[in-house]
Amino acid sequence: MEIISVDTVTRSTAETAAYYETVLGLPVQKEIGAVEVAVGRSVIRFREDPAAEGDQHYAFLVDDTRFDAARAFLEAGPGLLSDGDRTEFEAQEAWNARSLYFPGPDRSVLEVIARRDLPSNLGAGHVPGAKASSPHVPGTQSAPFGPGDLLSVSEVGIAVPDVVGAADRLTDVGIGRYPDGSATFSPAGHIDGMLILVSRGRTWFPTSDRVVGEPPVTVMATAPRKGTGAVVPGTYELAPGRKLIVVAA
């Protein structure tokens, strides 16, 4: 399922807007009490709530050929988060992916993820309103990394009171879980988009101080393309104020 939009909250729209616009160079639209950020084919809308508790997690999809360029960009900008001496993380075999984590606004933990099973250069190109970057030739890694290399929102972290139960409900409608889950952590979705279902109070990997809260969030996604599994369109309440809306592609 491909994530179209995310609607959630931030403790500071000013901080959030400034980060996404100046640090990542993404298109940002500001309004009173809210800010909207375009990430490739996805949009995240943040409404201001200074009392919001906990910290959030999002992963952004990049082409695997652009992974090294993403590393250089992040090292020169916000910096990378580490687990010991590791800053690059190879996912479980079923994921066939690798990731880099970096600090975002409002204490969020952000990630770029390259999923090798997706077609190379999937959707890469210019993002309207984004800062210009050097032309990129598919299959090369020489061009500087730019906002157009962030293809979509690939993951959204959502706290639920019963991780296993929520994952079971989504499995029943065709949104399968990945095999490396637990009672407090269960990725649910598909190669082009997933929810990271977690328990409140966990910390977001690879940090020890960014804590999962329960902010309201609505994720809208399309059902997977033909041949990748049958998903039943509908609205799925995961917890109070937290839901997934799946629409036909």
Domain that holds residue 55: 2-247
**pLDDT, tens only, 183-201:** 999 999 988 899 999 999 9
Angle 141-103-129 from CA coordinates, rounded to 5°: 60
Structural domain count, the chain: 1
d(CA 39, CA 41): 6
- Alpha carbon distance 39, 42 (integer Å): 5
Dist. CA 140–CA 129, nearest whole Å: 24
pLDDT for residue 67: 97
Backbone angles phi, psi at 153, to 5 degrees: -80, 120
For residues 142 and 235, give the distance between their C-alpha atoms in angstroms, rounded to a whole number. Answer: 43
For each successive 10 residues of the chain (249 residues), what is the average pLDDT?
96 98 98 97 98 97 97 98 97 91 98 92 46 44 88 98 96 88 92 94 97 97 71 95 94
The amino acid at residue 197 is L
Residue 105: give its domain's CATH number.
Answer: 3.10.180.10
Cis peptide before 103 (omega within 30 of 0): no
pTM, whole model, 2 decimals? Answer: 0.91
The number of beta carbons lying within 10 Å of the beta carbon of residue 235 is 11
DSSP letter at 54 equals: S
Q: In the predicted model, what is the mean pLDDT of the chain?
A: 90
Containing 67, the helix (H) or strand (E) segment is helix 67-76
Cβ pair 73, 145 in contact under 8 A: yes
